[in-house]
Amino acid sequence: MKTKLIFLLSLTFLFLFGCSSVVLADDFQEGVGAIEKGDYKEARKLWLSLAEHGDVSA
């Protein structure tokens, strides 16, 4: 019973953290696209949000 609970908790954390990194990667790529279009304000807005949430690459 205890191992089943640990397994389910592990899967839950893996799912939560795995999905959030995909969303952050999309925002980062949107920032790159904004830079390529010359929209520096939009890139700053996207990357600032990422940086505030702990993304070092932003």
In tens, the pLDDT along 4-36 reads: 777 666 766 665 555 444 455 677 888 888 889
Q: What is the predicted pLDDT for the residue at 22?
A: 46
Q: Is the pTM of this model over 0.95?
A: no
**At how many degrees (to 10) do helices 40-52 and 2-37 cross?**
160
Q: Tokens 């390529």 identify what position?
A: 36
In tens, the pLDDT along 39-55 reads: 999 988 888 888 887 76
* Domain assignments of the chain as residue spans, ordered by start: 19-58
Q: CB-side exposure of 7: number of CA atoms within 13 Å? A: 4
Give the residue ranges of DSSP H helices in 1-58: 2-37, 40-52
